[in-house]
């Protein structure tokens, strides 16, 4: 397919507006990038794995931590707050694994580490990156396209 973002320009603008909201939200940028990276790994979106790895690195994230995002549960490199975010991201992204929605323990853990406003922004970020991933994967966009 031709570049879907050019063909559906208003759709691109709508997704971009969400990113502007997230940029100005109380959700910490470092956590947002880790969440975006983890969701993109789950969805197999090479564009977003590439993009968010570079953005995180440019913001000072270490290679060791970036290389470990896919195995965040089994590494010592993340704080409890940082672990709460990918746990929530995985539960939202893999919603079919939990027919009743995000498990209470995942919500409770996230709520201990993030304000209500930051938690709401995290949910919106997870939904947003899932949308970007699906468009990119469905239309065959590849890593490096948007750097």
Query: CB of 54 within 8 A of CB of 147?
Result: yes
Q: What pLDDT is stored for residue 116 in this prediction?
A: 97
Out of 4-8, 22-26, 53-57, which region has the weakest mean confidence (pLDDT)?
4-8
User: What average pLDDT does this structure show over 51-62?
Assistant: 95
DSSP one-letter string for 22-91 = HHTSSS-HHHHHHHHHHHHHHHT-HHHHHHHHHHHHHTT--HHHHHHGGGGGG-SSS-HHHHHHHHHHHH
Out of 18-22, 97-101, 102-106, 128-132, which region has the weakest mean confidence (pLDDT)?
97-101
Torsion, Cα 127 133 138 139, to 10 degrees, reads: 120
Task: For residues 2 and 88, give the distance between their C-alpha atoms in angstroms, rounded to a whole number.
Answer: 34
Q: What pLDDT is stored for residue 147 in this prediction?
A: 61
% residues pLDDT > 70 (the chain): 99
Q: What pLDDT is stored for residue 3 in this prediction?
A: 86
Q: What pLDDT is stored for residue 119 in this prediction?
A: 98
pLDDT, tens digit (0-9, with 9 covering 90-100), for 116-134: 999 999 999 999 999 999 9
Q: What pLDDT is stored for residue 28 in this prediction?
A: 95
């Amino acid at each position: 397919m031709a570049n879907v973002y050019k063909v559906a320009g208003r759709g691109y603008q709508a997704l971009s507006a969400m990113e502007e909201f997230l940029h100005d939200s109380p959700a910490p940028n470092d956590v947002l990038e880790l969440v975006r990276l983890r969701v993109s790994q789950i969805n197999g979106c090479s564009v977003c794995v590439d993009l968010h790895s570079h953005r995180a690195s440019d913001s000072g994230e270490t290679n060791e931590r970036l290389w470990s995002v896919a195995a965040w549960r089994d590494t010592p490199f993340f704080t409890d707050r940082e672990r709460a975010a990918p746990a929530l991201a995985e539960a939202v992204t893999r919603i079919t694994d939990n027919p009743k929605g995000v498990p209470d323990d995942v919500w409770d853990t996230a709520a201990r580490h993030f304000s209500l406003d930051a938690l709401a922004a995290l949910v919106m970020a997870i939904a947003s990156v899932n949308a970007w991933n699906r468009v990119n994967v469905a239309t065959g966009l590849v890593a490096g396209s948007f750097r």
